[in-house]
């Protein structure tokens, strides 16, 4: 037996998580450089991606050390601000006050002089609209829950499932799943999902429109929204599809958050001999922002 002691430093991959808010909340959309560069003399553009056809598509436009309201969308002029102190330190995080359901969507932060861009997803739902998290590995079948508190028959309702990060495909299809007039409307659904998604017919009779996605891929990870027209009922599900190494890292980081102790990892390798590697490391320092 050979005993080998070695420190291993692991890096946690950062994920762009959506910002979740309820109507009336104030929200912070983060956008900052890695360095603390003074950006007071730079141009900063915040835009909402679904407003790109609007000539006044800017949510916030900063130039010549001031916010230029003349080119901004009127809905945001009185509700947005940048932090003056943050601008001095490479931080152009945007604050939006009193958000509404119409504010939901993707926002882009762009600093032309630094060729720097970040995108943030904002989800706005009712006070009871919680976001659930589903984890899976490639090839798994996943269940995205969406159900009423009552067992109302939904067979005659208009139901939709969408993936918030996805734009319509080249043919204009934008739904993960669409149900209307007691039929699945495949002609409006994205090709990548048509053969892999289904609802439970018995569930529809009991207020349950839970969606099943078969054989998930890494491209399926993201934020899914269920909406029942006529009842104004919506639910949001965050799906993570991770390969085995990512799952290991996620598990380690999760444990690090829950414990202030050091963790020990024992790795075994069977070959010509047995190598026993005992590694001691502090995950809090590595995954502190994971």
183: domain CATH number? Answer: 2.60.40.10
Q: Are residues 197 and 257 in the same domain?
A: no
For 4, residues 6+ apart whose C-beta sits below 8 A from its C-beta are: 275, 276, 277
Domain boundary among 124, 150, 175: 124
Nearest CA among 281, 56, 231, 211 for reference residue 126: 231
Q: Are residues 142 and 207 in the same domain?
A: yes
User: 150 in a domain, yes or no?
Assistant: yes
pLDDT per residue of the chain (290 residues) written in tens, 0 to 9: 333 333 333 333 334 578 888 778 899 999 999 999 999 999 999 999 877 666 677 999 999 999 999 999 999 999 999 999 999 999 999 999 999 888 988 999 999 999 999 999 888 865 445 678 888 889 999 999 999 989 999 999 999 999 987 877 788 888 999 999 999 999 999 999 999 999 999 999 999 999 999 999 999 998 899 999 988 888 889 898 877 554 545 544 544 444 443 333 333 333 333 333 333 344 444 444 44
147-176 residues labelled b (16+ CB within 10 A) or e (exposed)? beeeeeebeebebbbbbbebeeeeeebbbb
> Beta strand 116-124 with 19-21: parallel, antiparallel or unpaired?
parallel
Nearest CA among 158, 148, 136 for reference residue 240: 136
Residue with tokens 């053969």: 195
Residue 202 has a CB neighbour count (10 Å cut-off) of 8
Query: Considering the entire predicted model, what is its pTM?
Result: 0.51
Q: Are residues 175 and 207 in the same domain?
A: yes
**Domain of 237?**
131-241
Domain count, the chain: 3
Domain boundary among 90, 124, 158: 124
8 A C-beta contact, residue 228 and residue 209 = yes
Q: Are residues 119 and 136 in the same domain?
A: no
Q: Are residues 34 and 118 in the same domain?
A: yes
């Amino acid at each position: 037996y050979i005993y080998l002691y070695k420190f291993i430093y692991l890096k946690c991959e950062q994920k762009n998580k959506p910002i979740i808010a309820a109507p009336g909340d104030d929200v912070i959309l983060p956008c900052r450089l890695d360095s603390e560069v003074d950006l007071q003399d730079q141009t900063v553009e915040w835009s909402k991606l679904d407003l790109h056809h609007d000539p006044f598509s800017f949510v916030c436009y900063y130039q010549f050390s001031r916010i230029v309201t003349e080119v901004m969308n009127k809905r945001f002029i009185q509700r947005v601000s940048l932090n003056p102190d943050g601008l001095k330190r490479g931080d152009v995080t945007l604050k939006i006050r009193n958000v509404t359901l119409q504010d939901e969507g993707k926002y882009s932060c762009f600093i032309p002089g630094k060729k720097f861009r970040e995108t943030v997803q904002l989800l706005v739902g009712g006070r009871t609209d919680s976001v659930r998290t589903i984890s899976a590995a490639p090839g798994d079948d996943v269940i995205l829950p969406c159900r009423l508190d009552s067992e109302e028959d939904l067979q005659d309702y208009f139901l939709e499932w969408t993936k918030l990060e996805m734009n319509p495909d080249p043919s204009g299809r934008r739904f993960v799943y669409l149900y209307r007039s007691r039929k699945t409307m495949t002609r409006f659904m994205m090709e990548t999902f048509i053969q892999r998604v289904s609802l439970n017919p018995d569930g529809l009779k009991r207020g349950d429109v839970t969606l099943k996605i078969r054989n998930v891929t890494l491209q399926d990870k993201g934020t899914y929204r269920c909406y029942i027209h006529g009842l104004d009922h919506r639910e949001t599900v965050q799906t993570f599809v991770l390969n085995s190494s990512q799952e290991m890292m996620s598990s380690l980081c999760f444990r690090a958050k829950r414990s202030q102790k050091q963790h020990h990892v024992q790795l075994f390798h069977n070959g010509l001999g047995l190598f026993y590697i005992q590694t001691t490391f502090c995950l809090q320092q590595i995954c502190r922002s994971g």
